[in-house]
Amino acid sequence: MTLYTKTPSVINDLIARLRAEAVTDSQPGLVDLLDSIGTVTWYNLPSNLNKLVLGIKGYQAILFDGDLQDIIDDLGTIYWFNILHKVDLLVEATELIESLT
């Protein structure tokens, strides 16, 4: 369970972790996508979370993992009203990607 008052910093940490994995895995397209997200704030949270989902989908194209695909299917499009649930899924997806690479 994520501490929701720190959601932007949690997301910035996830982006940094995924970017580090992309650099390690020599995936320049994913590095560029994750770099394009920039710093996440409460103001730009939904749009940046949807960009992060694109990065996770990029990992799915590389890893072909069924569990990751299930998380991606649950993520869908992120809106203001479902951010809190989706952040937990993004954390879960990031941890899964780190364990698979």
pLDDT per residue as tens digits for the range 43-70: 999 999 999 999 999 888 888 889 999 9
Residue 74 domain boundaries: 4-100
Q: What is the torsion angle, in degrees rounded to the nearest 10, for the CA atoms of residue 16, residue 23, residue 90 and residue 54? A: 120
Residue 73, pLDDT score = 93
Total domains in the chain come to 1
For the chain, the average pLDDT equals 90
Residue 4 confidence (pLDDT): 67
Residue 89 near residue 10 (C-beta atoms within 8 A) = no
The segments of the chain whose pLDDT lies below 70 read 1-4
d(CA 11, CA 8): 5
